[in-house]
């Protein structure tokens, strides 16, 4: 599984950071999300899926 972030769509709401702070943070310069761990463990699938669903800009997707 891989997290894909489309920076063109990201508006920096930070919902992903709230849902999964071990996988995302906001860049201090751009204010946009940064993926900290691109290939999450299968055991964290539900956490990462919640973060993807929480993005109001639909900038995140999970690829298998």
Q: Enumerate residues 6+ apart whose C-beta is below 8 A from 15.
A: 51, 54, 55, 56
Domain boundaries, the chain: 2-63
Positive or negative, the CA dihedral 8, 41, 21, 16 is: positive
Mean per-residue pLDDT, 28-41:
97
Read off the pLDDT of residues 1-32 as tens digits, 9 standing for 90 and up: 999 999 999 999 999 999 999 999 999 999 99
Residue 49 contacts residue 62 (beta carbons within 8 Å): yes
The CATH architecture one would assign to domain 2-63 is 2-Layer Sandwich (3.30)
| Model pTM score | 0.92
Between CA 49 and CA 28 the distance in angstroms is 24
Neighbours of 49 (CB within 10 A): 16
Cα 22 from chain centroid (whole Å): 10
């Amino acid at each position: 599984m891989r997290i894909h972030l489309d920076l063109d769509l990201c508006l920096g709401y930070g919902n992903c950071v709230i849902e999964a702070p071990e996988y995302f943070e906001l860049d201090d310069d751009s204010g946009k999300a940064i993926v900290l761990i691109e290939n999450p463990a299968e055991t964290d699938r539900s956490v990462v899926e919640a973060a993807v669903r929480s993005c109001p800009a639909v900038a995140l997707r999970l690829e298998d």
